[in-house]
Chains A and B, each alone.
Chain A
Amino acid sequence: MSAEPFPVVAVMGNPNTGKSTLFNRLTGMKQKVANYPGVTVEYHIGTLAGEQPIQLVDVPGTYALAAHSPDEMVAVDVLAGNFKAIEKPQAILMVIDAANLRRNMYLASQVLEMDLPVVIALNMMDVAQSKAITINPQQLAKMLSCEVIPIVASKGKGIAELTTALRAAVQQKSIASISILQDLKQQAHDYAQQLKPKALAYEIERALIDEDGYAETRLIEKYGIDELARLKQVRLKIAKDQPLAALEVKERYHWVNKIVDEVEQREDIKTHWSEHFDEIISHPVIGSLLFISVMAAVFQSVFSWATPFMNWIDGGTGWLISELSERLPENALSSLLIDGVIAGVGSVIIFLPQIIILFAFIIILEDSGYMARAAFLVDRLMRFCGLSGQSFIPMLSSFACAVPGIMATRVIPDSKDRFATILAAPFMTCSARLPVYALLIAAFIPKTEYLSGFINLQGLVLLGLYLLGIMGGIGTAFLLKKTLLKGQTPTFLMELPPYHLPNIKSVLYRLLERAKIFLKRAGTVIFTVAVIIWALAYFPHSESIQQHYEIQREALEDESAKKELTRIDNAEQAALLEDSYLGRMGKTVEPLFRPLGWDWKVSAAVIASFPAREVVIAVLGTIYSVGSEVDENDKGLIHQVQVSTHPNGQTVFTLPMVIGLLLFYAFCLQCAATVAAIRRETNTWRWPIFAWVYMTSIGYVSALFAFQVFS
């Protein structure tokens, strides 16, 4: 952090250059994740260990240092040392994809102008070689006046040489910066000197180039509206009648072409195997079928592979509950610990194996380069509903959590597209929906197998729910773009990264991060809710009810009446739960949900889960634990919901009711954090209220339809 004396090196590069793999290789587990202040962009900060440690800051992948949006400004701000928590870098590690030198050199041309020592890591040399591309690193180093180290980050090749070069770079005193747009640089420097307080010349440069961009807005906010006229005047002086941004591109590419023509040789070879493969994968029919098959296989594995691990956790929780029940006296405190904390939190933690397996697949598919192809396929679908591929990344992020997904929409320049994506994102199946789906599917969907066990019904239902979420989101965007947010579909360019084997260390690190987030939430939010729900389900614990059943118990005379004793105990638990504050609340809202086939327990659990949907599991866990049958060992929540009945003896969780409940959870907006994020990103309460009413209504109507039609 800022207090540490280590020199800072900013790690920069285009997206898909293996920057993260290299970062993980250099820092190992000595890293942490954080968000840049005020923006959505997440970054990693890590330490390159050794006698002379260096702090590495992973700057978000970018094609150019531009400053149109706050997110884009992050890279400029890191290099300028504008963040309180990150010291101004003493050197830059520029990661370049050797197979795409020309394109990568554009950003390099900007980085080399920053008056900081630069080390270039020429990554993926093996891929370049396989494409018959030869690069002369020594000549490149000479032309750029900086160190150029050829590496293969995924295999650890060249890392030692790179580390040595980095250590030398942070000690370097004299810097031989290049200067491509000399006039602009001089004008920006003079401009910055005249401002009070003085500004950084590079920020002025960006404000001059990126007309109407964020750097310009920030300059005007800080120094006043008069700066706008001054900026215009300087622009006119430098570029005459052409836009400065166009001049920058022209000049830089002129420089880049000169360098690349000197150092790179490309032999004409037959089409690379990956290009043939891409033709199949991105084919509208074959590609789509392949994508659905891959996702189906993933969801099968979520259920088949997680079961033994879930049984272990379930067994562990059950053992803990039975041991504590035997050892602790039967009173409110032990009930709080056993029925509230352990049953509530345990019922959510059990889904950790499924979450880890699902995310392992998603991360592997992302790292292998397949997800980018999937984005390309989905782009067609996005265009159909009036959005572009730009909306795909926010939607993909929403499969983990809608909040970063909504925040990631900041990269969409058109406000109508942005709002449509913001309202579509919460439909995607986030990790909080997964435990709810998993519980209901495991309890009520049979494990019917097809195609010699390759496909099972449970996995298919889960896949169906994911697809339903996607359809809900796309349908919403389509409706909005045809009505409230009518507008043109923007163009979108996307780069397909090369295929490569995922790095196990990197996959494991990201999985660990995901598991930590889930467990932290179980230990904080879920824990608190479980404890509060326990109190609501336990109190007032009426003495008159207890006395009523005590009289019945005393009336029993011998051991043969044990069965009757159990019946009385069960009836007492049920009466106390029904009389509890939670019972009263559930009964108040029950009429609203009765048409959906829900009893007061389900109604109470659903109401309690409006702030965060996965809470429903903990609430059901606590409700059924507090009112559990006293003669049976704990058989877990899955069993409890299966045997739950209405007062008239009818089963509560019938298949139509379960389908309805699944649909309700697929569509309903039960997440306070998402509502808050929509409010912040749209800057009005109108959209979050609209989203909440719209999604909750769809959820309710779908559940009503499913129950009434299928019953």
Chain B
Amino acid sequence: MSADEFLALGLVLIIAMIAIKSYLNSRHKGCSGCHHKCDSAFSDKK
């Protein structure tokens, strides 16, 4: 694998990891990941 291929693959993996992490975070806050805009700051009751 050439250096540029290695770099490109690394970038793809980082992007995928960020996406998975943010998805898991949103799931934790009770979001189903739909199109609907909502604010996770509102997901806890007093």
- What is the interface of chain A, defined by CB distance below 8 A to chain B? 1, 32-38, 42, 82-85, 331-333, 335-336, 400-404, 430-432, 513, 516-518, 520-521, 524-525, 527-528, 531-532, 534-535, 538-539, 541, 672-674, 676-677, 680
A517 near B46 (CB under 8 angstroms)? no
- Known contacts A82-B45, A85-B42, A528-B19; is-contact A673 B32 (Cβ 8 Å): yes
CB-contacts of B1-46 with A (<8 A): 2, 4-5, 7-9, 11-12, 15-16, 19, 22, 30, 32-39, 41-46
B46 near A82 (CB under 8 angstroms)? yes
B36 near A404 (CB under 8 angstroms)? yes
Nearest Cβ on chain A to B27's Cβ, whole angstroms: 8
- Quick one: which of A83, A336, A402 has the most chain B CB within 10 A? A336
Q: Which residues of A contact B41 (CB under 8 A)?
A: 1, 34, 85
Q: Which residues of A contact B39 (CB under 8 A)?
A: 32-35
Q: Is the interface of A mostly helix, strand, loop or mixed?
A: helix
Nearest Cβ on chain A to B9's Cβ, whole angstroms: 6
Nearest Cβ on chain B to A534's Cβ, whole angstroms: 7
A42 near B33 (CB under 8 angstroms)? no
Contact of B46 among A32, A84, A524 (CB under 8 A): A84
A36 near B42 (CB under 8 angstroms)? yes
- C-alpha gap A497/B19 in the complex (Å): 44
B38 near A34 (CB under 8 angstroms)? yes
Q: Which residues of A contact B4 (CB under 8 A)?
A: 331-333
A332 near B44 (CB under 8 angstroms)? no
- Quick one: which of A332, A333, A400, A431 has the most chain B CB within 10 A? A332
Q: Which residue of A lies closest to B4 (CB)?
A: A331
- C-alpha gap A331/B7 in the complex (Å): 11
Can you spell out 24 A-B residue pairs with CB atoms less than 8 angstroms apart? A1-B41, A33-B39, A34-B39, A35-B36, A37-B30, A38-B30, A42-B36, A331-B5, A332-B5, A335-B8, A336-B12, A401-B35, A401-B36, A402-B34, A430-B35, A431-B35, A524-B19, A528-B16, A528-B19, A531-B12, A531-B15, A535-B8, A539-B5, A680-B32
Q: Which residue of B lies closest to A676 (CB)?
A: B32
- Known contacts A331-B4, A332-B4, A401-B34; is-contact A84 B45 (Cβ 8 Å): yes
- C-alpha gap A535/B37 in the complex (Å): 30
Q: Which residues of A contact B44 (CB under 8 A)?
A: 37, 84
A83 near B36 (CB under 8 angstroms)? no
Contact of A400 among B9, B11, B35, B45 (CB under 8 A): B35
Contact of B8 among A35, A82, A332 (CB under 8 A): A332
Closest 7 CB pairs between A and B? A403-B34, A34-B39, A332-B8, A673-B34, A331-B4, A35-B38, A528-B19
B34 near A404 (CB under 8 angstroms)? yes
- Known contacts A83-B42, A331-B4, A541-B5; is-contact A517 B16 (Cβ 8 Å): no
Contact of B34 among A34, A36, A336, A677 (CB under 8 A): A677
Contact of A333 among B8, B43, B46 (CB under 8 A): B8
- C-alpha gap A525/B18 in the complex (Å): 11
Q: Which residues of A contact B45 (CB under 8 A)?
A: 37-38, 82-84
A403 near B12 (CB under 8 angstroms)? no
Q: Which residue of B lies closest to A520 (CB)?
A: B37
Nearest Cβ on chain A to B11's Cβ, whole angstroms: 7
Number of A-B contacts (CB under 8 A): 106
Contact of A516 among B5, B30, B37 (CB under 8 A): B37
A403 near B9 (CB under 8 angstroms)? no
A432 near B35 (CB under 8 angstroms)? yes
B35 near A517 (CB under 8 angstroms)? yes
- C-alpha gap A332/B22 in the complex (Å): 26
- C-alpha gap A431/B37 in the complex (Å): 14
- Known contacts A1-B41, A84-B45, A333-B4; is-contact A534 B35 (Cβ 8 Å): no
- C-alpha gap A84/B46 in the complex (Å): 5
- C-alpha gap A680/B31 in the complex (Å): 11
Q: Which residues of A contact B33 (CB under 8 A)?
A: 672-673, 676
Q: Which residues of A contact B22 (CB under 8 A)?
A: 524
Q: Which residues of A contact B11 (CB under 8 A)?
A: 333, 336, 531
Q: Which residue of A lies closest to B43 (CB)?
A: A37
Q: Which residue of B lies closest to A541 (CB)?
A: B5
Q: Which residues of A contact B15 (CB under 8 A)?
A: 527-528, 531-532
Q: Which residue of A lies closest to B11 (CB)?
A: A336
Extra pairs beyond A331-B2, A332-B7 (8, CB < 8 Å): A32-B39, A331-B5, A403-B34, A403-B35, A404-B34, A518-B35, A531-B12, A673-B33
- C-alpha gap A673/B19 in the complex (Å): 15
- Known contacts A403-B35, A532-B16, A534-B12; is-contact A333 B7 (Cβ 8 Å): yes
Q: Which residues of B contact A524 (CB under 8 A)?
A: 19, 22
Nearest Cβ on chain A to B33's Cβ, whole angstroms: 5
A35 near B12 (CB under 8 angstroms)? no
Q: Which residue of B lies closest to A521 (CB)?
A: B35
Q: Which residues of A contact B2 (CB under 8 A)?
A: 331-332
A33 near B32 (CB under 8 angstroms)? no
Q: Which residues of B contact A404 (CB under 8 A)?
A: 34, 36
Nearest Cβ on chain A to B30's Cβ, whole angstroms: 8
B32 near A535 (CB under 8 angstroms)? no
Nearest Cβ on chain B to A606's Cβ, whole angstroms: 20
Nearest Cβ on chain B to A513's Cβ, whole angstroms: 7
- Known contacts A84-B45, A677-B32; is-contact A513 B37 (Cβ 8 Å): yes
B5 near A37 (CB under 8 angstroms)? no
Contact of A83 among B7, B16, B32, B46 (CB under 8 A): B46
Q: Which residues of B contact A430 (CB under 8 A)?
A: 35
B12 near A532 (CB under 8 angstroms)? yes
Nearest Cβ on chain A to B20's Cβ, whole angstroms: 9
Nearest Cβ on chain B to A673's Cβ, whole angstroms: 4
- C-alpha gap A332/B11 in the complex (Å): 11
Contact of B32 among A36, A42, A335, A403 (CB under 8 A): A403
Q: Which residue of B lies closest to A335 (CB)?
A: B8
